[in-house]
């Protein structure tokens, strides 16, 4: 087990600098265009694939970094470039995490490579959990998966919403209800292979921020998939459902559902995304405050501006520390006894909203225009307190963990 450290090793620094260069040279120059177009930036994703950033190998190397810092370091640098484009590059990762968290070794080896494709034929994947009437309240999920034993097939019906890459993905990972009486414990995750009949894209959302990332509904109408597309396999599912039924009857150990397992693993990474956006806005504001002159001196000489920048930098560094701690704990197999993963996501998300708003204020009228990137960064930052568990849900998870209450 690697010791927790605040110092990146030489290999990590080399990767960080490489990612920062790509973010500065490729992502940032394209950010405004794709934000305005509100389309998936396929050329940028392809460039990322060509240099090896958008690939299974790269994310595997970062995921298995023994210090746990590979993924948060990568997320921070890419989202420093631009949140919308970066989410298009890393959005496939949530579906991959869904397979890693719930799948067998064979499923991991079969499906994750198909999520990325290759530099000559780039693919994306989608993780589909939220529904029109089941966002934070995962127990209200209605998408059903019914097993057809005669054909060894699962039949999926329902509508998913807020799915990153939904409908345009090569592979969809869908969370569905297999036993309605068990609430959130009666869920399972399924792979929907490419070109499966019955899966279609519903509404594509026009969003406030992260507009270069595709977000849409996914409609499932009598979608039939082979039995082996149930992540983890039917034997494991039957055992888990039996434990859940026994617990419902007598009380006992808590059983995690498929969606919660994915979100729990990804929350520190979302915190790192927020840190990247906050840091980008802070750097723009700092540079502006040093060069913008009013009343015969740079505005950073005014205490009101200087103190804002001091608070912004302090909050960013504190957020990064929480993210790194949670990431190291997850890598080291240490349990989140105080919901440290949710803590990191909560604090970093709120920091991104606060810091980007302060950056707009420091730039004044210029910050309110699209001539400067802080306007876009402020819009992008709003998503961090919403997706993969709202700030309110993070506080609920933290409070219930501290009190010993069950997390549903």
Both structure tokens of 326: 């949670």
Q: Which has the closest alpha carbon to 229: 283, 171, 281, 313?
A: 171
Which positions ≥6 away from 343 have C-beta within 8 Å? 322, 326, 394, 398
Would you call 77 a catalytic residue per the annotation? no
CB-CB neighbours of 286 under 10 Å? 17
**In sequence order, what E strands does 211-367 have?**
215-226, 293-294, 297-298
- Burial zone of 176 (CB within 10 Å; 0-12 exposed, 13-18 middle, 19+ buried): buried
CA–CA distance, 123 with 134 (Å, rounded to integer):
28
Beta strand pairing status for 125-128 and 171-177?
parallel
CA–CA distance, 403 with 385 (Å, rounded to integer):
23
Q: What is the DSSP-derived secondary structure letter of residue 29?
A: H
Residue pair 270/127 in contact (Cβ under 8 Å)? The answer is no
CA–CA distance, 375 with 120 (Å, rounded to integer):
35
Active-site residue, from 7, 39, 388, 392? 388
Both structure tokens of 166: 């939904």
State the catalytic residues: 388
């Amino acid at each position: 087990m690697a010791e927790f450290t605040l110092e990146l090793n030489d290999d990590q620094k080399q990767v960080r600098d490489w990612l920062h260069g790509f973010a500065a040279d490729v992502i940032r120059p394209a950010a405004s265009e794709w934000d305005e177009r509100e389309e998936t930036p396929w050329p940028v994703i392809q460039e990322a694939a060509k240099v090896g950033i958008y690939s299974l190998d790269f994310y595997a190397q970062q995921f298995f970094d023994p210090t746990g810092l590979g993924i948060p370091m990568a997320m921070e640098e890419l989202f420093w470039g631009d949140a919308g484009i970066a989410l298009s590059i890393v959005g496939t990762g949530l579906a991959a995490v869904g397979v890693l968290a719930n799948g067998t070794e064979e499923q991991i080896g079969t499906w994750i490579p198909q999520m990325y494709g290759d530099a000559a034929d780039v693919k994306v994947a989608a993780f589909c959990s939220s529904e029109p009437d089941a966002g934070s309240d995962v127990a209200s999920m209605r998408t059903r998966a019914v097993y057809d034993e005669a054909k060894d097939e699962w039949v999926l019906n329902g509508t998913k919403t807020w799915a990153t890459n939904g409908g345009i993905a090569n592979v969809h990972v869908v969370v569905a209800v297999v036993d309605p009486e068990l609430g959130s414990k009666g869920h399972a995750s399924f792979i929907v292979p490419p070109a499966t009949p019955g899966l279609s894209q519903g509404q594509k959302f026009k969003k406030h921020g992260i507009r270069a990332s595709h977000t849409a509904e996914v409609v499932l109408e009598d979608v039939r998939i082979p039995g082996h597309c149930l992540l983890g396999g039917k034997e494991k599912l039957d055992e888990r459902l039996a434990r859940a039924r026994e617990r419902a009857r007598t009380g006992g150990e808590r059983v995690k559902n498929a969606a919660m397992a994915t979100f729990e693993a990804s929350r520190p990474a979302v915190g790192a995304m927020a840190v990247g956006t906050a840091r980008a806005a802070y750097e723009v504001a700092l540079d502006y405050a040093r060069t913008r002159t009013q009343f015969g001196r740079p505005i950073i000489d005014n205490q009101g501006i200087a103190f804002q920048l001091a608070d912004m930098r302090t909050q960013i560094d504190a957020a990064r520390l929480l993210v790194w701690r949670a990431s190291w704990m997850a890598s080291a197999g240490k349990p989140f006894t105080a919901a440290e993963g949710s803590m990191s996501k909560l604090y970093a998300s709120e920091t991104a909203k606060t810091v980007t708003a302060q950056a707009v204020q420091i730039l004044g009228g210029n910050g309110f225009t699209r001539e400067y990137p802080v306007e876009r960064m402020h819009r992008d930052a709003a998503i961090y307190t919403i997706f993969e568990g709202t700030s309110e849900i993070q506080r609920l998870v933290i409070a219930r963990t501290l009190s010993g209450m069950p997390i549903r």
